[in-house]
Amino acid sequence: MNGKLYGIGLGPGDPELMTLKAHRLIKAARVVAYPTLAGAESFARSIAENIIAPDAVEIKIDIPMTVAREPAQAAYDIGAAAITEHLSQGQDVVVLCEGDPFFYGSFMYLFSRLSDRFESEIVPGVTSVTACAAVAKTPLSARNEVLTIIPGPLGDTEMRSRIDATGSAVIMKVGRHLGRIRALLDDMGLSARTTFIARASLPSQQVLPLGRAPDPAPYFSMILITKGQDPWLN
């Protein structure tokens, strides 16, 4: 009998924002897998490090830093093959995912390679989006407001039309795009309704007016725009 594949969301960074279910499954795991980016330390692993069993097998899936498709695809192929070996021997494999496994994560590339052949379960996690709203003390969306999640690398024209059309917006993966996005939001007259948050829930967390945000911003940073004002709040 084959083992089961788990994609486990670990939340935004504070280990206490892990779910009880994630905690239970990771503590019991005999095989743990996680992606690393170009050899850097795995953020997902760092969230779980205190509960991974010392004798657990660890599968490190190193993803090259590139926008090209083929090298990353090859890395996921290699990772999926390593996981397959354990699943085929009847061992469950727990894949550690920062945030939520199906929300802008790399887990879906392993899932798409493995879920046809093996039983799987996804354990959702707290996303950086609601963690940022919490530390910024800013409600995200209420009642009939539309909320749009926008990746930072999106071009100016598309980003502007998405922000124009929504009540609240969250711009993810700001990083080196900060200067460009800040200029766009200034031009749209939205700077005053905008908060910059980096590494929400970690000790190094930053919550700043967008005008004071560091440029370039850390990779794990976002901009929260609460344009629409719920009349019930007043």
CB of residue 53 to a second copy, shortest distance in Å: 18
The Cα–Cα gap between 166 and 51 comes to 41
Strand 31-37 relative to strand 57-63: parallel, antiparallel, unpaired? parallel
Coil, helix or strand at residue 123? strand
Nearer Cβ to a second copy, position 66 or 89?
A: 66
Nearer Cβ to a second copy, position 62 or 230?
A: 230
CB of residue 218 to a second copy, shortest distance in Å: 19
Residues 6+ apart with CB under 8 A from 132: 12, 170, 197, 200, 222, 224
CB of residue 91 to a second copy, shortest distance in Å: 21
Angle at 137 between CA 134 and CA 139, to 5 degrees: 80
CB of residue 142 to a second copy, shortest distance in Å: 6
The residues of the shown chain that bind a second copy, judged by CB under 8 A, are 9, 11-12, 14-21, 23-24, 69, 72-73, 100-105, 108-109, 111-112, 115, 120, 122-127, 130-131, 133-135, 137-151, 153-154, 161-162, 165-166, 201, 230-234
CB of residue 123 to a second copy, shortest distance in Å: 7
CB of residue 215 to a second copy, shortest distance in Å: 21
The Cα–Cα gap between 208 and 196 comes to 5
Nearer Cβ to a second copy, position 14 or 62?
A: 14
Nearer Cβ to a second copy, position 3 or 9?
A: 9
Q: Find residue 59's DSSP bridge partners.
A: 33
Nearer Cβ to a second copy, position 60 or 162?
A: 162
Contact 151, 172 (CB under 8 A): yes
Contact 127, 103 (CB under 8 A): yes
Nearer Cβ to a second copy, position 9 or 79?
A: 9
Neighbours of 116 (CB within 10 A): 8
Name the CA dihedral angle for 158, 160, 161, 166, rounded to a multiple of 10 degrees: 120
